[in-house]
Amino acid sequence: MKTQQVLRHHAFGEAGAVLRLEWLPIPEPKAGEVQVRLLVAAINPSDYGRMNGRYGHLPSLPAVAGREGVGVVEALGAGVKGVVCGQRVRFSDAGAWQTFCCLPADALVFVPEEIPTDQAAMAFINPPTAHCLLSQYMDLKAGDWIVQNAGNSAVGLAVIQMAKAMGVRTVSQVRREALVEPLKALGADVVVLEGSGWEASVADLTGQQGLRLALNSVGGASAIAQLKVLEAGGTQVTFGGMTGEAVRFPTRYIIFNDLRMLGFWWDAYCQKAQGGAVDAIMASVFKMFTDGSLRLPIAGKYSFSEYKEALAHHESPRLGKILLTP
């Protein structure tokens, strides 16, 4: 029997403690399925949530970890038409850290040829989330200002580049001075340091224009700072909680500035979206990757057998994603 390497966990817990490199049989495609070989997978914070048991939906155990990656079609099951071996497609989102998977042929997401494989591996979660954050909550116009924290995250970098393409201007909160220039080189308008008291001078930074939308994936003091700088009637969308702290709100700002606090989850959006909305978002994301107006940096690339180093790198300060290869 042919076997493959997989990164799997048998219990929920901290990633470094529960994840194991194992050998499992290579799955064969059933009728209507294709077999896909992984090229490159990404490591995302939600992979940790699925491993530690705190994510919005959890796999049954034992579970192959990982949700995002790109692979190549290796074999076709009986009756599959319209798919050719060698085409690149999204790998399984129910276990991306394995060498082979089988997917229904009628649900494949094909990757355009022009997109580099490493970029494609990071295309399916964070860029469409950034797209939704910029398009679903208000009708942003060229010249509007928004604020976001975790400006150096993959979502943050996609927001910067997508906002730039829309003519929307960004204030990005980061935790290290060394990130300021690299973010500006990617199109960030203003980059501020968390905890520096930037809120007091925000009107000078934006030329006295209000901030209409705040994007929060951090929580704690970082999220409260956003609420204090939003213009009256502004909206804060929370889609992550990197500090692990609850998002508290400053009562008087909520009342006197009539602020709205909402949540976003790409997985739920995909479940509910109708009329090809997800395909349209992915087409828009792919177009930006194809024409070069969206690029995500890579901080490191590791083989499955180096997964402990990969996790350690992911958990360190960095600018760019950590990628895994079989």
Ligand X SMILES: NC(=O)c1ccc[n+]([C@@H]2O[C@H](COP(=O)([O-])OP(=O)(O)OC[C@H]3O[C@@H](n4cnc5c(N)ncnc54)[C@H](OP(=O)(O)O)[C@@H]3O)[C@@H](O)[C@H]2O)c1
Find all residues with CB under 8 Å of 99, minimum gap 6, and list them.
Answer: 4, 5, 6, 26, 37, 38, 304, 326
DSSP SS3 for 264: coil
Q: Which of 72, 87, 166, 265 binds ligand X (CB under 6 A)?
A: 265
Binder to ligand X among 175, 184, 287, 301 (CB under 6 A)? Answer: 175
> 55 catalytic, yes or no?
yes
Among the candidate windows 26-34, 39-47, 57-65, 197-205, which touches ligand X by CB under 6 A?
39-47
Chosen residue from 98, 119, 126, 236 binding ligand X by CB under 6 A: 126
* Dihedral in degrees, nearest 10, Cα atoms 43, 153, 136, 259: 130
Residue 18 to residues 9, 13, 85, 198, Cα–Cα distance (Å): 5, 6, 35, 40
Interface of this chain with ligand X, residues 303 to 322, rule: CB under 6 A: 317-318, 321
Residue nearest to ligand X (CB): 240
User: Judged by CB, which is closer to ligand X: 105, or 285?
Assistant: 285
Across 20-47, b (16+ Cβ under 10 Å) vs e yields eebebebeebeebbbbbbbbbbbbbbbb
Nearest CA among 208, 166, 170 for reference residue 191: 170
Binding map of ligand X across residues 50-69, x = CB under 6 A, - = no contact: --------------------
Cβ distance to ligand X smaller for residue 258 or 309: 309
**Which residues here bind ligand X, judged by CB under 6 A?**
44-46, 125-126, 129, 150, 152-155, 175-176, 217-218, 239-240, 242-243, 264-266, 317-318, 321
Show which residues are catalytic. 55
